[in-house]
Structure 1
């Protein structure tokens, strides 16, 4: 049996599909797993041993379809479920199953604050998509595999951080999912441990400002490492502080303790750190959620904005960095 899994973007969403890929591969005899995604996210999946072949979503959609048709798929697992994935399914003309994105429920929640979202993580709902194949959740949590060539050597980080550090993820796709710079500066100033600031090239300026507050304690890694190298820095961290973004899910894949900071989006959308059925066992790492509850304007979007629609940005401005510091101490003391 040859199965195509579709998820075009983004890093976090793709990482959240990895239990589906693993369970398909391990539970269906002789299955061949292919994955269709955008070129910029292929590196996230390249080392995944449960995927037999990765296909790029080309700018030329017809070219993509021709390549996929040549594979002769028996089943399509559509975990993106948008117009383009529907076109792919129509063109391949084989059996398929599509993820229910619950767009109506999200719309009601963001526009009228009526929460009809199921109290289930999105990973569990992703796995429901393949239940017709007899595939079930193995409880193993998320996967992330780093190519050996992209493992970060100790010599590539400062000597001051080689005995252990906290990973601080400062990026996120939208500004309303990120702590303001002055909050981040306050946070790094009161943390009593070495910090590596993590993010992409677009976060380098923020990282520079944070590093300037204490160049010995704070190392700015934003834009200096590939996504897989950044993932390896997450793997090597003692714990990770992160916004609602891809590296947060990568941290959960490595069973790292996570302090998850939320702004205009909410964990009730089902995308908080996921460790599988065993995440709350004593021997496993856990996570803490940091958010401002009770705001009548929150959530204002299922994704985010470039600025607060209300102008006050209370969902982030009211977060207390001292509270995050206390959670850091609690997690480090429990290790």
Structure 2
């Protein structure tokens, strides 16, 4: 999700700076919802079960250029088959391997958006310096429909979902943080963290509103959009929250934002919470368990610094 979300400034810059261009976007069907309502996209194409069928569909469009922001084997095959001028985002795979395995970090801390933009420089497209975009459908329920008892009160949205265990803060540490936050806290996340949410909300029944696994992603986005502040782990909804320029606290465990260039983008007030350790990062995308067994990257995060950031303007 995050990789696709960070393509939104490139789509916007292309369309606004080359207004007569048609912009078509190819992705997997399970990411369709992220792009359906983007007004800068002329047409959305979804990968078919057989790649040759996808390529046949694309050839019929008679494109002028291919901009490859994925740089995978599949996208390379698409470029070769279309046989037209192309430009590709450089992933710097070897440098990432060196950073993870040899602790030799040669990667510049450029944001993924800026890395993507290099692929469209040849068209004269430049960064407009604006945040990412996320477009909600018109039929998304309003905040009073989602949280009727709290919609008029300031609250903090805490996104506790993340695909991998090493990107999630332990329940007891989340509980400790929430105890110290003055505002009500709304928990957000998917089915995979429903058990975590139950433990956290049970510990603080008068402080926590638990919506984990109970509302859709776009309803969760609405809750985030209207929050006073947002706290989140390294996960898609946290990155989506950047579209609304909320005061944002991001919490990082086994992953580091600089490696993949996914630090908060164009957010006026943000704090990145993490711990400097010789074993961190241990992964680009997170793991199912701490390889060392101690999980210090999350357990040793300084709660005082997070609370200080949340409490002050």
Please say whether Structure 1 and Structure 2 have the same fold, judged by a TM-score greater than 0.5: yes
Give the conservation status (yes or no) of the 8 Å contact 1:43–1:228: no
**1:328 is matched with which residue?**
310
Q: How many residues align?
A: 312
Give the conservation status (yes or no) of the 8 Å contact 1:189–1:213: no
- More moved, 162-171 vs 57-66: 57-66
**1:41 is matched with which residue?**
31
Give the conservation status (yes or no) of the 8 Å contact 1:44–1:228: no
Give the conservation status (yes or no) of the 8 Å contact 1:248–1:273: no
1:85 aligns with 2:75: yes
Q: TM-score, normalised by structure 1?
A: 0.89
User: Which of 44, 51, 54 is residue 64 of structure 1 equivalent to?
Assistant: 54
Structure 2 matches for 1:191-210, cutoff 5 A?
Answer: 191-210=181-200
Give the conservation status (yes or no) of the 8 Å contact 1:273–1:287: yes
C-alpha distance in structure 1 between counterparts of 2:54 and 2:177, whole Å: 46
| 1:267 Cα offset (Å) | 2.4
**2:272 is matched with which residue?**
289
**Secondary structure, counterpart of 1:193 in structure 2:** coil
C-alpha distance in structure 2 between counterparts of 1:177 and 1:301, whole Å: 10
C-alpha distance in structure 2 between counterparts of 1:166 and 1:108, whole Å: 38
| 1:260 Cα offset (Å) | 0.8
Structure 2 matches for 1:83-162, cutoff 5 A?
Answer: 83-160=73-150, 162=152
Question: Alpha-carbon deviations, 1:276-330, whole Å to 9, x = none?
Answer: xxx5xxxxx310010002x111111111111011111111110133432222112
Give 5+ residue unaligned stretches, structure 2: none
Give the conservation status (yes or no) of the 8 Å contact 1:241–1:260: yes
1:237 aligns with 2:227: yes
C-alpha distance in structure 2 between counterparts of 1:247 and 1:194, whole Å: 19
| 1:59 Cα offset (Å) | 2.5
| 1:151 Cα offset (Å) | 4.1
- More moved, 89-98 vs 316-325: 316-325
Give 5+ residue unaligned stretches, structure 1: 1-10, 280-284
| 1:161 Cα offset (Å) | 5.1
Give the conservation status (yes or no) of the 8 Å contact 1:160–1:216: no
User: Which of 174, 181, 201 is residue 164 of structure 2 equivalent to?
Assistant: 174
**Secondary structure, counterpart of 1:196 in structure 2:** strand
- Cα pair distance change 1:180/1:59, threshold 3 Å: farther
RMSD of aligned residue pairs (Cα, Å): 1.5
**1:301 is matched with which residue?**
283
C-alpha distance in structure 2 between counterparts of 1:148 and 1:181, whole Å: 35
Give the conservation status (yes or no) of the 8 Å contact 1:292–1:315: yes
C-alpha distance in structure 2 between counterparts of 1:204 and 1:59, whole Å: 32
**Secondary structure, counterpart of 1:311 in structure 2:** coil
**Secondary structure, counterpart of 1:91 in structure 2:** helix
Q: TM-score, normalised by structure 2?
A: 0.95
C-alpha distance in structure 2 between counterparts of 1:256 and 1:155, whole Å: 22
Give the conservation status (yes or no) of the 8 Å contact 1:44–1:227: no
| 1:158 Cα offset (Å) | 4.5
**2:216 is matched with which residue?**
226
